Amino acid sequence: MNYKKIFLLSSLFVLIVPIINVKGFTFRDYINNGNYALFLFNLDGGNNTQISVTHEESGNFTLFLFDQRPVESYVKDDKTLNNRIFSNPSIVNFSLADSPYINFTTLESKIYYIEVVLVGGGPDTYNLTCKEDLTRYYLPIIPGFRLEYLILSITLVLSVIFILSKKKVIRKNS
């Protein structure tokens, strides 16, 4: 009978104590100068999130928040940041501080993208911390085909097939 009372009291205790659902994300990576990492997350309208980057050594990290899917990294071939990124209309917020930090409240529900870039002082290890669950996002590195080469290749293949089929027709008639 005492077991029933203990079970009943523990069940009531579980119902009285609130269950707290904590979301959060921490990502740790080691990158070289000019390398970048992209992440995406969904944020509902009126919600707030904080994003921060800390580093272990003397790396100079930058942090960007986009409201549209980025299609390029804005890192030039010499591993420096392209200034065009600052005039990009899809950038919602950015931080160039020693330990970049963004505090952002959204007005509408949508998917947001984070870009972390090591622009100097590397290689270094960084820790990305966010209140939201993040998903890693990769830019496609396969370049598209040029239309001229595609048309030339199709024409060449069709010509070879046509010539080979003509030769077979001539051999059958002989």
Distance between CA atoms of residues 145 and 71, nearest Å? 17
Distance between CA atoms of residues 38 and 71, nearest Å? 11
3-state secondary structure of 73: coil
Pick the CATH number of 22-142 from 2.60.120.380, 2.60.40.10, 3.40.309.10, 3.40.1380.20: 2.60.120.380
Name which of 32, 29, 19, 5 is nearest 119 in CA terms.
32
The pLDDT of residue 65 is 93
Q: Is the pLDDT of residue 22 over 50?
A: no
Does the global pTM surpass 0.75? no
Domain ranges of the chain: 22-142, 145-174
Tens of pLDDT, residues 45-95: 888 999 999 999 888 999 999 999 888 888 888 888 888 998 889 999 999
